[in-house]
A and B are shown apart, each in its own frame.
Chain A
Amino acid sequence: MSAARPIRPTGLEGSALKGPFPVGEYAAALRGRLRGLARVQVFGEVSNLGLRPKAVYFELCDLNGALPCSMWRSDYDRLGVELANGVQVVLGGGCDYYPGSATSSPSFTFRATALRVAGEGELLAQIERLRRKLDAEGLFAPQKALPRPALPRSLGIVTGERGKARDDVLAGLARRGWEGRLVWAFAPVQDRRAAPMIARALQDLVVAGDVEAIVVARGGGSVMDLMAFSDETLCRTVALLAVPVIASVGHHTDRTLIDDVAAVSCSTPTHAAETAVRVHCGEARTALTADARRLATCGRRAVVERARRLEDLTRAPAEHVARQRTWLHQMVRELRAAGRRGVQGRRSASATQLLVLSRRASAATADHRRAVAALPSVAGDLRRKRDAARTRSARDLERLRLALDAHDPERALERGYALVEDAAGELVVSAAAARSAGRVSVRFHDDRVTARIEAEG
């Protein structure tokens, strides 16, 4: 674009308006006029917050409207506060306008120079109150109780016609290899018309679309952008729908009420599509082919194995008899061998015993011969010993006879001694006994005489 002053064209024919003015001049004049407006304080809820190196951008909104705001980063840092989406703030500042250039777009902003955090935003609080209400009514449960097909033939998608979510859903379905019937229900996903039109699209998809699951998808945005998905009527519609709804609204940090009432809540449209079709079609086809092959193998194996078994059983009796016959033959052979071994053993033992006996007989014969040869000598010895013994015995007898004779009382009587006996034949060995006996018998070696004992006197 040339920096030279543009040639002013002829104005609109018949128009009473001033101009035409070069737009740059008009924009500069507009900025001056806006900056001239009274500086004020406004309050509302922060959304769509963006922190940039030179400035902080956000929207200040309430239920009735919104204002694009900005603050120089130096002013923001000096305040020492940390803004977040949904926070209620009071701003001080005034209108400003950036006229743009050849390379940048123009923009209007409420340039804030002062800021105070005033608490949690009313919008978020309102959503939270509605969340508790729907939960108390049990509206979070019905969708989750619905059966969700793993491989639906038809899907309904509710999203913005020109949004990126549409491409993300298609990418998710392509990743699953799913090529079924897809019914697009395009609806606004941001403005005031969004909630009722989304609710209507959902109902139409159930009635006319004949779909088995519905994905509601929208990309990220501010709290205000996503407000339609926290709409009470829409949430009640979703909760009572007979077809499972998979919600993917905003980023994973955003939580709208449709996320609570839906059957499943996903962080991205791609993930939502993959959740709607849980089966990976390519892998499933491969697995199914393998299953079919295994089934065929199992069936064939069952029959073949049993046929073989039957065949084995048919052969079994003959084989059994043959086995028994072989066994018997073996037993007979072993018996014969054992018999031979037994006879041989006994023969060997007998020979050994015979040898032992013959050796013992030879030894006995030799002993006998030696004994016979020694007999004369032994007889002589015996005779000599006998004679000696006789001599010794005769000598001993004589000696004993002489000893006995020495003690014989008859020999004493022969030498002059006499025995005195009483009438009973008892020996009287004392004078007193003699006096007492009165009459005694006195035996001499040749005869006996009777005597009368008289007292001395």
Chain B
Amino acid sequence: MSERPSYESAAARIEEIIKRLDSGEAGLRETLDLVREGRELVELCAAELEAVGRGLEELRLDELVARLEAGGRAPDRPG
């Protein structure tokens, strides 16, 4: 399974896709493939932006360390 692309690589790929589509040189099959890929990347970027847009979550390292030492684990944010 391929690695999940980073936000910036996804954004850059979206730019490439739109540039290719705007050129009008892509055939129907390529256009549909590019649009599908672009939509997936847009969803990925939207998810990344959503993850950093739910309100600032401030934690203290000493509390995290104490929690880990107590056998817990760092809380994960959904997304």
The interface of chain A, by Cβ under 8 A from chain B, is 147, 149-154, 156, 173, 177-186, 201, 204-205, 208-210, 277-279, 281, 284-285, 288, 291-292, 294-296, 298-299, 302-303, 306
Interface size on B, residues (CB 8 A): 40
Q: How many angstroms between the C-alpha atoms of A288 and B38 in the bound complex?
A: 11
Given contacts A181-B77, A186-B60, 13 further A-B contacts (CB under 8 A): A150-B11, A177-B53, A178-B56, A179-B53, A179-B57, A183-B60, A208-B74, A281-B52, A285-B53, A288-B11, A295-B38, A302-B35, A306-B28
Query: What are 19 residue pairs bridging A and B, where the CB atoms are less than 8 Å apart in the complex?
Result: A149-B7, A151-B8, A151-B48, A152-B52, A177-B53, A178-B56, A204-B61, A209-B74, A281-B53, A284-B11, A288-B14, A288-B42, A288-B46, A294-B18, A295-B21, A298-B35, A299-B35, A302-B26, A302-B35
Give the chain A neighbours of B59 by CB distance below 8 A. Answer: 181-184, 209
Interface mask (B39-52 → A, CB under 8 Å = 1, otherwise 0): 10010011011011
Closest chain A CB from B79 CB (angstroms): 8
Give the chain A neighbours of B45 by CB distance below 8 A. Answer: 284, 288
Closest chain B CB from A213 CB (angstroms): 12
**Using a CB-CB cutoff of 8 Å, which residues 17-75 of chain B contact chain A?**
17-18, 21-22, 26, 28, 31-32, 34-35, 38-39, 42, 45-46, 48-49, 51-62, 64-65, 68, 74
Closest chain B CB from A359 CB (angstroms): 74
Question: Among the listed A183, A284, A291, which residue makes an inter-chain contact with B38, where contact means beta carbons less than 8 Å apart?
Answer: A291
Closest chain A CB from B34 CB (angstroms): 8
* Most B CB within 10 A of own CB, among A153, A156, A186, A306: A153
Q: Chain B residue with minimal CB distance to A149?
A: B6
